[in-house]
């Protein structure tokens, strides 16, 4: 066996790959579901928090800042493990899937809140004043004038964060979520061959390259019309 043959046998073993492909596909589908849930709920919660924060209710804003800083500071894996292994002692016992979903949603929401809030602050004061001077109220100004501009500013950092945090679905493998990495490493243990990991990597690429491309498209689509 040449070095090349050994490399192919180790990482591109077609027999092993074919055997575990169906499992990896299942893991892929589960990962897509988990990722979609995290993106939708994380972004919605983050946006909602930023909007609430803009109303400037002091005690509420302290709470938001505290929670947001907390979830930005904690490593996502720590949050997942705390919820999965810690919560049951308090009563509810979420599954690994739900634990991962909740954890990454909170992390994404925290970062999204900071980014959207930054976007709201980046909209010039004159925009508020112009809108208010025509009689638009605070909420109408926020929804029709400020947020559309803030979100455009936010799209690049928001896309980056969303992708980074959604990749954290792989952390679910620690709490028995049958997502791509978990399925692939299980298959490696069974077959004593790392080829399923190659499949797993390909599955991640298939999942995230479109997401990255979509992010780019959104960025250009919502750039200022000139």
Partner 1 sequence: MLSGVATARPIVDAIGIHKHFGALHVLKGVDLVVSERELVFVIGPSGSGKSTLLRCCNRLETPSSGSVMVDGIDLLDRRTDINLARQRIGMVFQQFNLYPHMTARGNVTLALRKVAGKSRAEADELADAALARVGLAEKAEAYPLELSGGQQQRVAIARAIALEPRVMLFDEPTSALDPELVGGVLAVMRSLREAGMTMVVVSHEMAFARAAADRVVFMDHGVIVEQGTPAQVFGAPQQERTRAFLRQLDH
By the 8 A CB rule, do 9 and 194 touch? no
Site track for partner 1 across 105-144, x = CB under 8 A:
-------------------x-xx-xxxxxxxxx--x---x
| Position 69 contacts partner 1 (CB under 8 A) | no
* Nearest residue (CB) to partner 1, 47 versus 131: 131
* Nearest residue (CB) to partner 1, 45 versus 151: 151
* Nearest residue (CB) to partner 1, 18 versus 140: 140
How many residues belong to the site for partner 1 (CB under 8 A)?
21
Least distance from C-beta 135 to partner 1, angstroms? 4
Least distance from C-beta 142 to partner 1, angstroms? 12
State how far the Cα of 39 lies from the Cα of 46, in Å rounded to an integer: 10
Instruction: Dig out the tokens for 138 from the structure.
Output: 């605070």
Least distance from C-beta 143 to partner 1, angstroms? 9
| Position 224 contacts partner 1 (CB under 8 A) | yes
Residue 79, burial from CB neighbour count under 10 angstroms (0-12, 13-18, 19+): buried
Least distance from C-beta 131 to partner 1, angstroms? 7
* Nearest residue (CB) to partner 1, 58 versus 225: 225
By the 8 A CB rule, do 180 and 171 touch? no
Residues 140-199 that bind partner 1 (CB under 8 A): 140, 144-145, 148-149, 152
* Nearest residue (CB) to partner 1, 9 versus 128: 128
The number of beta carbons lying within 10 Å of the beta carbon of residue 224 is: 6
* Nearest residue (CB) to partner 1, 89 versus 134: 134
135: enclosing H helix or E strand: none
By the 8 A CB rule, do 202 and 105 touch? no
Q: How many CA atoms lie within 13 A of 104 on its CB side?
A: 25
What are phi and psi for residue 157, nearest 5 degrees?
A: -65, -35
Instruction: Dig out the tokens for 86 from the structure.
Output: 């810690």
By the 8 A CB rule, do 147 and 46 touch? no
- The contact set with partner 1 (CB under 8 A) reads 124, 126-127, 129-137, 140, 144-145, 148-149, 152, 224-226
């Amino acid at each position: 066996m040449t070095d090349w043959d050994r490399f192919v046998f180790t990482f591109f073993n077609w027999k092993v790959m074919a055997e575990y492909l169906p499992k990896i596909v299942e893991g892929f589908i589960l990962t897509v579901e988990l990722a979609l849930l995290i993106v939708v709920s994380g972004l919605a919660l983050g946006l909602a928090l930023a909007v609430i924060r803009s109303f400037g209710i002091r005690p509420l804003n302290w709470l938001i800042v505290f929670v947001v800083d907390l979830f930005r500071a904690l490593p996502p894996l720590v949050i997942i493990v705390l919820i999965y292994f810690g919560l049951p002692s308090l009563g509810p016992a979420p599954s690994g899937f739900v634990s991962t979903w909740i954890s990454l949603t909170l992390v994404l929401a925290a970062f999204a809140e900071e980014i959207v809030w930054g976007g709201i602050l980046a909209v010039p004061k004159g925009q508020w004043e112009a809108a208010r001077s025509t009689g638009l109220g605070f909420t109408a100004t926020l929804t029709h004038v400020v947020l559309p501009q803030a979100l455009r500013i936010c799209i690049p950092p928001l896309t980056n964060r969303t992708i980074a945090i959604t990749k954290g679905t792989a952390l679910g493998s620690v709490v028995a979520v049958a997502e791509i990495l978990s399925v692939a490493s299980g298959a490696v243990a069974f077959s004593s061959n790392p080829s399923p990991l190659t499949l797993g990597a390909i599955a991640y690429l298939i999942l995230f390259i479109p997401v990255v491309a979509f992010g780019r498209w959104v960025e250009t689509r919502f750039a200022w019309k000139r």
